[in-house]
Amino acid sequence: MKDVVAAYVGLTKPRVIELLLLTTVPVMFFAARGVPPLGLVVATVIGGALSAGSASAYNCVYDRDIDEQMRRTRRRALPRHIVTPRAALVFATVLAVLSTVILYVWVNPLSAALSLGANAFYVLIYTIVLKRRTTQNIVWGGLAGCFPALIGWTAVTGELAWTPVVLFLVVFFWTPPHTWALAMRYRDDYAAVDVPMLPVVASGHAVSKQIIFYSYAMVATSLALWPVAGTGWFFPTAAVVLGALFLVEAHLMERRAARSDSLTEIRPMRLFHWSNLYLSLLFVAVALDPLFA
């Protein structure tokens, strides 16, 4: 029973859920210019977690054939046959329904619609249409991971505005460097299953140049929040420091990639881990900024 429960939890990809919630809750604090109602935060977190878990479970069902062949994913529940595809599909659907109901009833219809739309986009557009067909899969498919910023804002305000759109774009530009760094580490796995992630079809140096482009766009967009949202001094200061450190790491990786295409030399996981820390700290700064106003 313990293994089965762990398998179902694994279908939801908890680490992905953590990252998505980290771009939801701070935006709620920023929208409220302080501490939002606890019940609202709890309902949004539960609804958002169930929605993200549902999308991940659907992804696991569809990708079970390639997951079985990749080192990074072969220990998942479906490749190990701990959970059947039918059971996983039912599980994903139940999570989707529960998340929509929770957000609709205890948050608001707009947040529920955005969450359901993000789920559908990730499954239908990224997983089914883009992932196995184009090197730009994660660029456009990554849009689904940007929705939590919108959901966090609408949960508090009940409407959209330019502020969450800027944060949406920050996550959009952050996604390619984050994902391509990981894909570079596992490019042999992706190549073996014919998934055309950019590091599979391009050299490490070429991928690094693309990462630098998106990194500059990400940092510039983060700084746009200052005039758009009228933040205090704390957020732009944090954005400048974190952005500078991220750009330094991106340039260092590009230099290493220019010397050698060996993964041992390029060390892409350095940037991957730093990208997680960057996004986490940036959104924490979003939440804390009103306290320093």
pLDDT at 198: 97
What's the rounded Cα separation, in Å, for the pair 47 and 288?
A: 24
pLDDT at 4: 87
pTM of the full structure = 0.96
What share of the chain has pLDDT > 70, as a percent?
100
pLDDT at 243: 98
Same structural domain, 11 and 136: yes
pLDDT at 134: 96
pLDDT at 53: 96
DSSP structure string for the chain: -HHHHHHHHHHT-HHHHHHHHHTTHHHHHHHHTSPPPHHHHHHHHHHHHHHHHHHHHHHHHHTHHHHTT-TTTTTSTTTTTSS-HHHHHHHHHHHHHHHHHHHHHHT-HHHHHHHHHHHHIIIIIIIIIITTT-TTHHHHHGGGGGHHHHHHHHHHHSS--HHHHHHHHHHHHHHHHHHHHHHHHTHHHHHHTT---HHHHS-HHHHHHHHHHHHHHHHHHHHHHHHHHT--SHHHHHHHHHHHHHHHHHHHHHHHHHH---HHHH-HHHHHHHHHHHHHHHHHHHHHGGGG-
230 neighbors 211 (Cβ within 8 angstroms): no
Mean per-residue pLDDT of the chain:
96
Q: In the predicted model, what is the mean pLDDT of residues 199-222?
A: 97
Same structural domain, 264 and 216: yes
Same structural domain, 206 and 110: no
Same structural domain, 12 and 153: yes
pLDDT exceeds 90 at position 2? no
Q: Show the domain range for 3.
A: 1-157
262 neighbors 185 (Cβ within 8 angstroms): no
pLDDT exceeds 80 at position 293? no
pLDDT at 59: 97
The residue among 125, 157, 189 that closes a domain is 157
Q: In the predicted model, what is the mean pLDDT of residues 160-167?
A: 97
Number of domains present in the structure of the chain: 2
Same structural domain, 177 and 202: yes
CATH of the domain at 66: 1.10.357.140
Same structural domain, 109 and 195: no
Same structural domain, 167 and 73: no
Q: 88 is written with which tokens?
A: 């996983």
pLDDT at 40: 98
Same structural domain, 133 and 9: yes
Q: In the predicted model, what is the mean pLDDT of residues 32-54?
A: 97
pLDDT exceeds 80 at position 239? yes
**Given pLDDT bands bounded at 50, 70 and 90, which one contains residue 19?**
confident
Convert the pLDDT of each residue in 73-93 to its tens digit: 988 999 999 999 999 999 999
Same structural domain, 25 and 127: yes
What share of the chain has pLDDT > 90, as a percent?
94
91 neighbors 101 (Cβ within 8 angstroms): no
Convert the pLDDT of each residue in 103-162 to its tens digit: 999 999 999 999 999 999 999 999 999 999 999 999 999 999 999 999 999 999 999 999
